[in-house]
Chain A
Amino acid sequence: MIEPTYAIEAQEEFLYPGHLACQGCGSTIAIRYVLKALGKNTVVVIPACCWSIIAGLFPSSCLGVPLVHTAFETAAVAATGVRAALDIQGKEGVNVLAWAGDGGTFDIGFQALSGAAERNEDILYCCYDNEAYMNTGIQRSSATPVGAWTTTTPKGGLEDRPKKDIVRIMAAHNIPYAATANVAFPDDLYRKAKKAASIKGMKFIHILSPCPTGWRIPSSESVEVARLATLSNLFPLYEVENGSKVIVNYFPPKKVPVAQYLESQGRFHLVSDEQKKQIQRNVDAYWGGLMKEVKKK
Chain B
Amino acid sequence: MLGKLIEFHSIGELPDSPITQGTTLWNPTGTWRSVRPIHMARLSPCLLGCPAGNPIETFIRRIEEGDIDGALAVIREENPFPGICGRVCFHPCERSCNRGSMDQPVAIHELERWVADHGSWRPTVSEKDKGKHVAIVGSGPAGLTAAYHLRRMGYGVTVFEKERELGGLLRYGIPSYRLPKDILDREINILREMEITFITGKTLNESDLDDEGFDAVLFAVGAQDFRNPRLVRQVGEGVWQALEFLKKVNESGITSLKGKVVVIGGGNAAIDAARCALRMGTEVTVAYRRMREDMPAFDDEIEAAVEEGVSFTFLAAPQVVKRDADGKVTGVGFTRTIPGEIDASGKHEVTIDPHDTFSIEAETVILATGEKPADLPWDVEPKSDTNLCETDRPNVFVAGDVVGTQRTVAYAIGWGKRAAVAIDSYLQSREVDFRKITLPGGEGISMRAYLGSFEIPDGEAVPFEEINEFYFPDVKRTKARQLPLKQRTAGFAEVVKGLSRPQALKEASRCFHCGDCVMCDNCLIFCPDVAITRTNDKEGYEVDLDHCKGCGICARECPRGAIVMVEEKI
Residues of A within 8 A of B (CB): 1-6, 8, 13, 15-21, 23-26, 28-29, 32, 56, 58-62, 64, 186, 212, 218-224, 227, 231, 253-254
Contact = CB atoms under 8 A, between A and B. Distances in A.
B22 A59 contact: yes
B525 A18 contact: no
A18 B26 contact: yes
Contact of A6 (B525, B555, B556): B525
B340 interface: no
B547 A18 contact: yes
Contact of B520 (A2, A16, A32, A64): A2
A60 B26 contact: yes
Contacts of B468: 224
Given A2-B61, A219-B553, A60 B22 contact: yes
Nearest to A4: B521
A219 B64 CA distance: 33
17 contacts: A4-B520, A5-B559, A8-B525, A17-B531, A18-B29, A23-B32, A23-B33, A24-B553, A28-B528, A28-B529, A32-B530, A56-B20, A60-B21, A60-B26, A60-B27, A219-B551, A220-B555
B17 to A, nearest CB: 10
Contacts of A32: 528, 530
B557 to A, nearest CB: 6
B27 A18 contact: yes
A213 to B, nearest CB: 12
Contacts of A220: 551-553, 555-556, 565
Interface in B464-489: 468, 470-471, 473-474
B11 interface: no
Contacts of A56: 20, 23-24, 27
Given A1-B66, A16-B25, A18-B29, A186 B525 contact: yes
B18 to A, nearest CB: 5
Contact of B470 (A8, A21, A218, A227): A227
A221 B528 CA distance: 12
B interface, size bucket: 35 or more
The 5 closest A-B pairs by CB, nearest first: A220-B552, A18-B24, A17-B547, A18-B27, A23-B551
Nearest to B473: A253
Contact of A60 (B23, B33, B519): B23
User: In this complex, which of A19, A218, A219, A221 has the most chain B Cβ atoms within 10 angstroms of its Cβ?
Assistant: A19
Contacts of B525: 4-6, 8, 186
A19 B24 contact: yes
A17 B6 contact: no
B544 interface: yes
B530 A15 contact: yes
A276 to B, nearest CB: 22
A24 B557 CA distance: 12
A100 to B, nearest CB: 19
Interface string B528-570: 1111000000000000101101111101110100000100000
Contacts of B21: 59-60
A24 B544 CA distance: 16
B552 A61 contact: no
Given A18-B26, A23-B33, A61-B23, 9 more contacts: A1-B65, A16-B23, A17-B547, A23-B552, A26-B528, A32-B530, A60-B20, A60-B22, A223-B526
Given A17-B531, A28-B529, A58 B61 contact: no
Contacts of A8: 525
A8 B524 CA distance: 12
A62 B552 contact: no
Given A62-B24, A224-B556, A13 B530 contact: yes
B62 to A, nearest CB: 11
Name the prevailing secondary structure of the B interface residues: loop
A20 B528 CA distance: 11
Contacts of B470: 227, 231
Interface string B270-293: 000000000000000000000000
A219 B557 CA distance: 12
B519 to A, nearest CB: 7
Nearest to A54: B24
B65 to A, nearest CB: 6
Contacts of A186: 525-526
A240 to B, nearest CB: 27
B6 A59 contact: yes
Contacts of A253: 473-474
Given A6-B525, A59-B21, A60-B5, A23 B549 contact: yes
Nearest to A222: B553
A16 B533 CA distance: 12
Contacts of A2: 61, 64-65, 513, 518-520
Contacts of A26: 528
Contacts of B32: 23
Interface centre among A1, A2, A17, A224 (most CB of B within 10 A): A17
B556 A62 contact: no
Nearest to A228: B470
B25 A18 contact: yes
Contacts of A18: 2-3, 23-29, 547
B557 A62 contact: no
B200 interface: no
Contacts of A219: 549, 551-553
A180 B563 CA distance: 31
B506 to A, nearest CB: 14
B234 interface: no
A221 B556 CA distance: 7
Interface string B49-64: 0000000000001001
Given A6-B521, A61-B24, A16 B530 contact: yes
Nearest to A6: B525
A17 B2 CA distance: 9
Contacts of A17: 24-25, 29, 529-531, 544, 546-547
B111 to A, nearest CB: 15
B2, B468, B525, B528: most-surrounded residue (chain A CB, <10 A): B528
B522 interface: yes
Contacts of B559: 5
A254 B472 CA distance: 13
A2 B510 CA distance: 12
Interface string B1-41: 01101101000000000101111111111001100000000
A23 B24 contact: no
A24 B18 CA distance: 29
Nearest to B15: A59
A16 to B, nearest CB: 5
Given A2-B518, A23-B549, A59 B20 contact: yes
A290 B530 CA distance: 35
Contacts of A29: 526, 528
Nearest to A221: B556
Interface in B305-325: none
Nearest to A13: B530
A23 B337 CA distance: 66
A257 to B, nearest CB: 16
A93 to B, nearest CB: 24
Contact of B528 (A25, A58, A227): A25
Contacts of A20: 24, 27, 29
A10 to B, nearest CB: 12
Given A18-B29, A186-B525, A23 B5 contact: no
A5 B521 contact: yes
A61 B24 CA distance: 6
Nearest to A218: B552
A15 B25 CA distance: 10
A5 B20 contact: no
B544 to A, nearest CB: 6
Nearest to A212: B551
A138 B528 CA distance: 21
